[in-house]
Structure 1
Amino acid sequence: MDTFPPRRPSSLLVASLIFLVAGAGVIVIAGPSLVSSGVPPASEAGSPIARTTSVAKAPPPAKAPLAGERAAPRGRAAATASPLYRVGALPRTGCRAGQIRAGDAASYRAFMTRVNRCLNQTWKTQFRKAKLPFSQPRLRFVTSRVSSPCGRWPTGAGGYYCSANRTMYIGVTRKTLKDAYGPNHAQFMAHEYAHHVQQLAGILPYYGQSAWKAKPSAKLALSRRLELQADCLAAAFLRGVAADLPVTRQHWNSMIQWIAANGDKTWPRNDHGKGRSQAYWMERGFSSGSPASCNTGLASARSVS
């Protein structure tokens, strides 16, 4: 499938019984749902990568805690007092992902597969420190709009996470392959992976349940807290692997400036957050490298506006 053209980024996060997508950036929801849209980081040339996350009803049962582990919190505590917030920064992980050659699908898949392995290693360590059960998500590269247990591939999406089978679907398209700058794609992968982290930690289920009977304005607010946290967690991971990718401070500053100025310009509804909010949470994650900086559950309404 194709991603949105430059400066038309897209991300959709849905926790629902059924969802339909009608047109670029227009979301029609059937049944109780949580909807959030997000803008991925700008590329070196300023054009962003589209991303989408879908969350369906009835995910697989959580992995049973082993000796010394504890079950993930439920309810509001999952979002506001997660053990992941209390065990320090993400570990500095060696992540020699190689390089993407423009137009070369094999190099793109190899790069993203290596980044996924780094994410597995990083988050497995963090969950172990928090004494929470951990399991890896599935990763699937596709060249067409495949369906999943979460429904049909959302229009305009570059990829998405489905909680029903805990799989990240990553599109391999001509437009995607035009951008060979690895850190942008790593941020994209880390964002989708962050939704898997939220699923395992009980954060994503809590927000989905909270949105069940919420008013439209409240659903948007819940969506912003979830999506902005994923941006922050992805940025915290990038901090830990910055030396190997590499991610320079100059590139990061350019990305933050672009997001702050443009992050909310394409969305008819404020379901992801204003550009300044996106930039704020990404900067918090990258500066600290710690999930403790990503606790949007306790954040003021203004910081997730």
Structure 2
Amino acid sequence: MEWRGRRQSDNVDDQRGSSMGSSGPGFRIPIGGGGRGGGGLGIGGIVVVLIICWITGINPLTLLSGGDIGFDGGGGSTSQQQSTRRAPANDDMTAFVRTVLADTEDTWGDVFKSQGMRYEQPTLVLFSDRVNSACGFASSATGPFYCPNDRKVYLDTAFFRELEQRFDAAGDFAEAYVIAHEVGHHVQNLLGILPKVNQARQRMSEADSNRMSVRVELQADCFAGVWGKFTQQKGILESGDLEEALNAAQQIGDDTLQKRSQGYVVPESFNHGTSAQRMRWFKRGFDSGNMKSCDTFSGDV
């Protein structure tokens, strides 16, 4: 991906090196009825949940407390203690993140304008180790996530090293796909999809709620593919870039993650989609370049 020399976004809040307060809500572990098997989660189950959340980008507070999709469903902002900030880093990774975010801003700005709408740009927060968001406290193990309460994407760039070293999903376009997926959740939020889904999930069984979560995540993958198509049309994709993104989607499918972590799969616990589904919906968005092709809520996925 030829990203150097392109416009960089100003909507990046670099909190790396900050001394952040830990006044967030903490973990709420279900005592009974909240576990994947119907009862409370044991230590082994919690470890599996954390591993899956870490790689797929869903806030573990969600799965352990029964909150909303991909984030802790708190209704208001958590207070942040005073932090000591250092100047934002000016390294290649920061420049890369700023450039990819700028490209998503340009893409979705044009898409929304063509539909007679205005795109509101999200802020991307870079953090190290832990962060307090309007959706609750998160650590690096949470992975990248989007918080609709403050309309921000949160990213610890150490996740990219894990993506490459532990899960064989290397490449700058694989990393860009991760950012574009989280921005896809922001698009869903602006379109009113996330609020409707979260309201509906309150009335669902755990299994139905998981199935709804899969549809949400696959649509975010499709929206990431739409962004990828616009990027290709600008002539900045290089040979192998599409394959990098598809490989990343494959490596973070629920079935692949469960096989890797526990040796078997539990389909009713899927909340992001299988590897095949994630690859298919990213490719659908990429091939069409049209968000109307990303209706994951009608029919089979």
* TM-score (normalizing by structure 1): 0.64
Query: Which deviations, in whole Å up to 9, do the C-alpha atoms of 1:71-97 show, x marking residues without a partner?
Result: xxxxxxxxxxxxxxxxxxxxxxxxxxx
Q: How many residues are aligned here?
A: 226
The letter for the 2-side match of 1:56 is: G
In structure 1, how many angstroms separate the alpha carbons of the residues matched to 2:157 and 2:215? 29
Residue of structure 2 in register with 1:20 after alignment: 61
Q: How far apart, in 2, do the equivalents of 1:134 and 1:59 lie?
A: 23
Distance 1:271 1:282, change over 3 A: same
Map of 2:43 onto structure 1: none
Q: What are the ranges of 5 or more consecutive residues in structure 2 without an aligned counterpart?
A: 1-15, 17-47, 78-88, 165-169, 259-265
The letter for the 2-side match of 1:284 is: R
Percent identical among aligned pairs is 25
- Name the residue aligned to 1:124: 109
Q: Does 1:192 align with 2:192?
A: no
User: Does 1 or 2 have the higher relative contact order (CA < 8 Å, sep 6+)?
Assistant: 1
Q: Deviations over 1:28-74 (max 9, x none)?
A: 124xx344xxxxxxxxxxxxxxxxx42634479xxxxxxxxxxxxxx
Structure 2 residue 275 is matched with structure 1 residue 285? no
- How far off its partner does 1:236 sit? 1.3
Decide whether the 8 Å contact of 1:161 with 1:192 is kept in 2.
Answer: yes
1:93-172 equivalences in 2 (<5 Å): 106-154=91-139, 156-172=141-157
Q: Which runs of 5+ in 1 are unaligned?
A: 22-26, 36-52, 61-103
What's 1:275 paired with?
275
Higher Rg:
2
The offset of 1:166, in angstroms, is: 0.9
Partner of 2:172: 182
1:266 is paired with a residue whose SS is helix
Q: Distance in 1 between matches of 2:159 and 2:183?
A: 23
In structure 2, the residue corresponding to 1:296 is in which secondary structure?
coil
Partner of 2:29: none
TM-score, normalised to structure 2, is 0.65
Describe the shift of the 1:181–1:266 C-alpha distance in structure 2 as closer, same or farther (beyond 3 A): closer
Q: Which has the higher helix share?
A: 2
User: Which residue is equivalent to 2:56?
Assistant: 11
Indicate the SS of the match to 2:293.
helix
- How many angstroms apart in 1 are the aligned matches of 2:52 and 2:184? 23
The more displaced of 253-262 and 146-155 is 253-262
The ranges of structure 1 where at least 4 consecutive aligned residues each deviate by more than 6 angstroms after the TM superposition are 6-9
Shift of 1:144: 2.4
Distance 1:285 1:256 in 2: 12
